[in-house]
Amino acid sequence: MFLAIKEMLHEKLRYSLIVALIFLVSYLLIILTGLATGLANLNKAAINEWDASSIVLNSDSEGRLQQSFLSQDEVASLPNNGTRISQYSTLVKSENGLKENTQLVGLDSKSFIFKKLKITSGSKNIRNNAGVVSDKFKSDGFKIGDHLLVANSSLRIKITGFTPRATLSALPVVYISPDTIQPLNKGVTNAVVFKNKLENSKIPKGTNQLSISSFIKKLPGYSAQQLTFDFMIAFLYIIILIVISIFLYILTVQKLPNLGVLKAQGVSTQYLILSTLFQSFIISVIGVIIAIILGEITAITLPSEVPIVIDKSNIIVTGIGIIIMSLLGALIPIRQIAKVDPYKIIGG
Amino acid sequence: MSNLIFESVTKVFGEGSSKYVALENINFKAESGQLILVVGPSGSGKTTFLTIAGGLQTPTEGDVKINDSTIKSLSEKQQTKLRLEKIGFVLQSYNLVPFLTVEEQFKLVDKLKKQNLTEQKMHELLSDLGLLELLKKYPNQLSGGQKQRVAIARALYTDPDYILADEPTAALDTDRSMKVIELLRDLAHKRNKIIIVVTHDLRLKNTADKVYQIIDGKMQMIN
């Protein structure tokens, strides 16, 4: 790869420009992927923490928790190892004026979901109008022992503990007991969540079982949001492919006379092709590494309101994706190299 | 003992009304220890002759043999290897890689041939051609004559059996031209090389062992 390295070192400006372009597009890709992941997490983090396999909802609810109301008979006919979920969206205030839009989730303290909940501070107690709340409350200034005043109600919920990654449809969750939520939703059970998938024979008429992944896709706005991001990310990959192809094509066309002479002198086409692929690999790796470093710095410095999550798996997938696109982008110039006829360059 | 033989070689470009006969029924033989000059006006077919001799083109009719094996029977990979190991090209233009220093032009050959002769042999060659002080220079920092001399040194560096030179003295003054030709003649005679020089520089006529002339694609020995 002697030839490839020497060329890049000699033509620093040209290759720096390509690296800069790859960096910019990669940076945008990393930020977009981070935002897509962050927003997805905001919608589904609490559900992921439940570590469940399926959910049973009313057949007419279209998979939406808020629209699902299960009768007592339906709930009673389901296996009793499920966690009954009651949900109520509302605004809560602290006594010192802090406000938060929230999802109140009523569940039994003996349920598998409640047992699974992790606590970052305080205790796991939801008896007597107590609640375990998302640690988003903590970052917004709420403390253990604070009382949450539920809007349009006389209900006061005492914060006993904070739990991580507890957001549902982009709102922080407050876990409370069925007794506490009862005055707000009149004791309605919206869904029953199961650790394992149920056999169809155990699903009562008028209800519908969904896998947790299908349930997440039906969260309001979730699929539309993720598809929009997926399209933007796909277009960015295509842009990387086009940009690298054009740049390498122009560079290759400019050096065709040299390539012809090198071929005449016994340099194999394979060596010249590998040289170009190596250059493409190196410039994309440099561009991606700079983009990852800057992406991480951006994620750290952005305000916490921006839901950006740059995790290792995203970085690996994005990095490999960009490098593959760069290598694919080198295919057109490679064709030029394979086709160059030394005789035509030397002339007759 | 190396040899290069053209057997009834004809090269035709185009078809129909645009048909052009670049070389017509060429019979030619070169053997080790010979410096051969091929002269002729521009467009006479000299470079076509040279590129066919180097395996860069195949004849329309006839055969070219190097050491009794027909070039066109070799695969593309074998032809590339032949050019790398047996043939040294000295071309009119674009001869040097623009992003390599003079020293690196030689290192590239080392890398390709998986050898390491740089220091000793390169210094010897460059010294013979008066180029030692140019080791760290890029081609765009050299004069036309210096570029040509570096190209010659590089062609000689692989110690090829054949050297095919296209106007190697075109950019040189008379003194330098004579030195280059003397160097090529010494190589042919003392190291048993076949050296074919295509040129329109008639000052060189008396320095060669044989002189051929190509006019309108037809070749004849004139000296």
Q: Which of B38, B44, B112 would best serve as a mutation to test chain A binding (most A beta carbons within 10 A)?
A: B112
Q: Do A261 and B82 touch (CB under 8 A)?
A: no
Architecture of domain B3-221: 3-Layer(aba) Sandwich (3.40)
Q: What letter represents residue A128's amino acid?
A: N
The structure's pTM equals: 0.78
Per DSSP bridges, beta strands B3-13 and B162-166 are unpaired
In sequence order, the β-bridge partners of residue B88 are: B163
- CA B53/CA B35 separation, integer angstroms: 15
Residue recorded with tokens 């055969």: B63
What amino acid occupies position A208? Answer: N
Residue B84 has its nearest CB partner, among A7, A258, A266, at A266
Rounded to whole angstroms, the Cα distance separating B97 from A272 reads 13
Nearest chain B residue to A261 by CA distance is B95
CB nearest B89 (choices: A10, A11, A265): A265
Q: Does B82 touch chain A (CB under 8 A)?
A: yes
Rounded to a whole number, what is the largest CA-CA distance in chain A?
97
C-alpha distances in angstroms, A192 versus A54, A72, A180, B64?
9, 12, 18, 86
Residue in chain A nearest B110 by alpha carbon: A2
Q: Which whole-number Å values give the CA distances from A155 to A130, A133, A182, in the listed order?
A: 11, 16, 10
ipTM here: 0.79
B185, B35 in Cβ contact below 8 A? Answer: yes
Residues of B in contact with A7 (CB under 8 A): 99
Task: Work out the mean pLDDT of chain A and round it to a whole number.
Answer: 92
Instruction: Please answer yes or no on whether B56 and A346 come within 8 Å at the CB atom.
Output: yes
Closest CA to A21 of A217, A275, A236, A256: A236
Burial A54-63 (b: 16+ CB within 10 A, else e): bbbbbeebeb
In this structure, are strands A99-106 and A207-211 parallel, antiparallel, or unpaired? unpaired
- State whether residue B65 sits within 8 Å of chain A by CB: no
Sequential DSSP letters for chain B: --EEEEEEEEEEES-GGG-EEEEEEEEEEEETTEEEEEE--TTSSHHHHHHHHTTSS--SEEEEEETTEEGGGS-HHHHHHHHHHTEEEE-SSS-S-TTS-HHHHHHHHHHHHT---IIIIIHHHHHHTT-GGGTT--GGGS-HHHHHHHHHHHHHHT--SEEEEESTTTTS-HHHHHHHHHHHHHHHHHS--EEEEEES-GGGGGGSSEEEEEETTEEEE--
**Chain B contacts of A258, Cβ < 8 Å?**
94, 97-98
Residue B210 · residue B17 · CB < 8 Å: no
Q: Do A264 and B81 touch (CB under 8 A)?
A: no
A-B Cβ pairs (cutoff 8 Å, strict): 74
Residue pair B88/B155 in contact (Cβ under 8 Å)? The answer is yes
B147 shares contact with chain A (CB less than 8 Å): no
Stretches in chain B below the pLDDT threshold 70: 92-94, 115-118
CA distances from A61 to A103, A205, B2 (A): 18, 14, 90
Q: What pLDDT score does B94 carry?
A: 52
In chain A, the residue whose alpha carbon lies closest to the alpha carbon of B50 is A348
For residue B92, the model assigns a pLDDT of 67
Residue B127 contacts A where some CB pair is shorter than 8 Å: no
Handedness of CA B164, B105, A17, A234 (dihedral sign): positive
Please give the residue of chain A at the shortest CA–CA distance from B22: A348
What residues of chain B lie within 8 A of the CB of A261, using their CB? 89, 91, 94-95
Question: Using 50, 70 and 90 to split pLDDT, how confident is the model at A55?
Answer: very high
DSSP annotation of A189 reads: B
B69 Cβ contact list (under 8 Å, min separation 6): none
Place of tokens 């590239």: B108
pLDDT value for A52: 96
Q: Alpha carbon of A95 to those of A88, A104, A269, B67, B220: distances in Å? A: 21, 18, 77, 101, 110
Specify the residue for token string 């919920």: A157
A18/chain B closest Cα distance in angstroms: 18
The DSSP code sequence of A24-50 is HHHHHHHHHHHHHHHHHHHHHHHHHHH
Work out the pLDDT band at A54, boundaries 50, 70, 90: very high
What tens digit of pLDDT does each residue of A140-188 get? 999 999 999 999 999 999 999 999 999 999 999 999 999 999 999 888 9
Tokens matching residue A243: 């940009």
Question: B209 vs chain A: nearest CA distance in angstroms?
Answer: 25
Between B13, B48, B95, which is nearest A261 by CB? B95
> Does the structure show a pLDDT above 50 at A348?
no
CA–CA distances in Å: residue A11 to residues B140, B192, B211? 13, 41, 44
Report pLDDT digits (tens) over B79-132: 888 888 888 888 766 578 889 999 898 888 888 877 666 577 778 778 877 788
Amino acid at B201: D
What is the CB-side half-sphere exposure of residue B190 using CA atoms within 13 A? Answer: 7
**pLDDT tens digits, one per residue of A293-336:** 999 999 999 988 889 999 899 899 999 999 998 899 888 889 98
Instruction: Tell whether B133 is within 8 A of chain A (Cβ).
Output: no
Q: Give A242→chain B minimum CA distance, Å.
A: 26
A31: its two tokens:
């930020």
